[in-house]
Amino acid sequence: MENITPELLEKYFKGLCTPEEEALVIRALTGKNAPPPLPDDKEVFHGMDKRALHDELWKQVQPPTQAKKSIHRWLPLQIAASLLLLAATVGILYQYRATLVATDTQPTPAASRVIQAARGEKIRMTLPDGTIVHLNSGSTLTIPEKFTDTARIVHLSGEAYLEVAKDATRPFSVLTSRTTVRVLGTVFNVKAYPDDTSTIVTVEEGSVRVSDAGGYHILLMRDQGVVCVPNGKPLSAQSVYAANYTAWRHGTLVFKDQPLSEVATTLARWYNVPVHIQNKKLATHRFTGRFNNSPTLAAVLNELSTVMQCQYDLNDKRLILY
């Protein structure tokens, strides 16, 4: 906290600091032992309500109303309160930074829009900042009516391919139930269906920063991906062919050494039909295949049944594999 005085901190909260003083306050409050930094810690502070933070801090350190005392007796309390104010600021900042990895259980902001791609359909949209989003079947994207001046944040449940408009002053964040993906301008895919056991992030262009609920962070570059599983272990980047993970937006189904249980889940989303695997052993058998040009379900099943040496029964209500 060297060179940080209570007067300077008060000046910061009133918005009266010079750029140099403001940078000094931010550097001091984040400190050497702060959590791994975001792309811009200054942006984190600017995203906060300074007046509300100030009031909350002073509620924590303000002494109770007492009978009138001498100025000399009150002066030590002022100094102690100022020191407590600095310590509490750091604690609240850390708590605020931790909330950047959000969960789907958080309340949706009042001024927001919810876009849903039903099972069997896909949606392409352009956000207010120019970002292009492709939303896969069975997915939901929650966006604010208007992005703030300091950040662009959306909530995703399902799968989306995003071409983020470049804006160095406003980082773009995709929040899922397990991860936060943070970028300035790039092209990437996030698969985070609530009934999946993991979240998969893949980068097609540029780079992204992925954070999970366990506090781990990783930077991904082009043709890299990460599988986020809530197991308490550090995140690990993998080299991938990103086009395989984003081919769905062109109507191409790609399966790479996946158990039939996962294949069935994808088919249910794509074709809006419940899928039941009668043979439990069959569910663990693995399948690799590629289907271009928005294939019909019948075409996929013909290939699948041949390769997997299984049979199927398809009617208007459900698909049974056995």
DSSP 256-313: EEEEHHHHHHHHHHHHT--EEES-HHHHH-EEEEEE-SS--HHHHHHHHHHHHT--EE
Residue 23 banded pLDDT, cuts 50, 70, 90: low
CA dihedral defined by 219, 220, 221, 222, rounded to 10 degrees? -170
Q: Is the pLDDT of residue 105 over 70?
A: no
Is 228 exposed, middle or buried, given 0-12, 13-18 or 19+ CB atoms closer than 10 A? Answer: buried
Phi, psi of 302 (to 5 degrees): -60, -45
Question: What is the pLDDT confidence band of residue 20, given thresholds at 50, 70 and 90?
Answer: low
227/59: higher pLDDT: 227
pLDDT for residue 111: 84
This prediction has a pTM of 0.67
Residues above pLDDT 90, as percent of the chain? 61
pLDDT for 28: 62
pLDDT at 35 over 80: no
Which residue in 59, 61, 60, 58 sits closest to 77, CA to CA? 61
pLDDT value for 231: 87
Residue 101 has pLDDT above 50, yes or no: no
pLDDT tens digits, residue range 191-203?
999 999 999 999 9
Please report, for residues 169, 267, 307, 309, 315, the alpha-carbon distance to residue 302 in angstroms, rounded to integers and kept in the order given. Answer: 51, 13, 9, 10, 15
- Looking at residue 32, its pLDDT comes to 40
pLDDT class of 97 with cuts at 50, 70, 90: very low
pLDDT in tens, 130-171: 999 999 999 999 999 999 999 999 999 999 999 999 999 999
Higher pLDDT, 221 or 106: 221
**Mean pLDDT of the 104-120 span:** 74
- Alpha-helix runs per DSSP H in the chain: 6-13, 19-30, 41-46, 50-61, 71-98, 242-246, 260-271, 280-284, 297-308
- pLDDT range class, residue 120, cuts 50, 70, 90: very high
φ/ψ of residue 173, rounded to 5: -125, 135
